[in-house]
Amino acid sequence: MGELTDKVAVITGASRGIGAAIAQELASAGIRLVLTARRQDRLESLAAALPGNPAILAADITDANTAERLLALATERFGRADILINNAGILRVGPLETFDLAAIREMTATNFEAPVYAAYVFARAMKAAGSGSIVNISSIGAHLTAATVGVYGGLKRALEIFSDSLRIELAGSGVRVGLVAPGTTATEIFSDMKANGQPGWDEYVTPLQPADIARAVRYLLEQPAHANVARMHVYASADAH
């Protein structure tokens, strides 16, 4: 994509953590933004702190019509959507005996179904326009096999397989697909673990910061049109995985 000024990016899970950092990084590059998350107050606060008067949509990314609403908002406000960042995600872990089975459906809807659905919706529009970039936020957990985290890791692995498949399908269309897989990052994703009396993974190492992941996303987007960085893993320096 190369030059980013005046491109239009849609970011899911944008109100906090990695999503908010991506919004700040891309806004600094001159990209116009459409931001979505569930909490209106957080979106308004973030948008007010960014240049370019971002558009916001408070919505549940797992709702069937949210992706179409985001594309319509980007088109109405800015004329198109050049970039989709599928960032929204949740983490639920626990041992066999106490794992909340309802979390299986919750994680599947948020971490896999929603980004896949949005990718299809935006990829169709981008292919018709002849250009665009989709970046899916995965996790190094997609390539780790450990007790208590099988659902989360499995869904992230599925997202990576889907991302590769879509990238291959769109080869030559002008639409690029890539993913960024963060290691342990200091965000609210560990809040559920801590609320249940478990230490968050960010307590074991000096974690990455959301801005580290945002810079990786920008790097993918800044590549020239003939180059597609398919995947980037970003580890905390002290992470032994």
| Backbone phi and psi for residue 227, each to the nearest 5 degrees, phi listed first | -120, 140
Q: Quick one: how far is CA 24 from the chain centroid?
A: 14
Confidence band for 208, pLDDT divided at 50, 70 and 90: confident
DSSP helix/strand/coil, 184: coil
- pTM of the predicted structure, to 2 decimals: 0.93
Percent of the chain scored above 70 by pLDDT? Answer: 90
> Is the predicted pLDDT of residue 223 greater than 80, yes or no?
yes
Residue 100, domain extent: 8-233
**Residue 99 belongs to some domain of the structure:** yes
- Regarding beta strands 32-37 and 8-12, do their DSSP bridges make them parallel or antiparallel, or are they unpaired? parallel
**200 has a pLDDT exceeding 60:** no
- Domain-embedded: residue 122: yes
Annotated catalytic residue 152 = yes
239 within some domain = no
- Of 51-60, 144-153, 179-188, 223-232, which gets the smallest average pLDDT? 179-188
Q: Cα dist. 134→122, 167, 192, 239 in Å?
A: 8, 9, 28, 27
Q: Mean pLDDT score of the chain, rounded to an integer?
A: 92
Number of folded domains that form the chain: 1
> Within a domain: residue 132?
yes
- Identify whether 223 is part of a domain: yes
- Per-residue pLDDT for 220 more than 60? yes
Residues near 4 by beta carbon (within 8 Å), at least 6 away in sequence: 26, 29, 30, 31, 218, 221, 222
Predicted confidence band at 75 (pLDDT cuts at 50, 70, 90)?
very high
Per-residue pLDDT for 139 more than 70? yes
**Which CATH number do you get for residue 174?**
3.40.50.720
Coil, helix or strand at residue 231: strand
| Residue 114 lies inside a defined structural domain of this protein | yes
Question: Looking at the domain assignment, is residue 220 inside a domain?
Answer: yes
pLDDT one-digit tens code per residue, 88-131: 999 898 889 988 999 999 999 999 999 999 999 999 999 999 99
Beta-carbon contacts of 150 under 8 Å, excluding residues fewer than 6 positions away, are none
Q: Please identify which of the residues 152, 204, 219, 235 carries the catalytic annotation.
A: 152
In a domain, 136, yes or no: yes
Element (H, E) at 222: helix 210-222
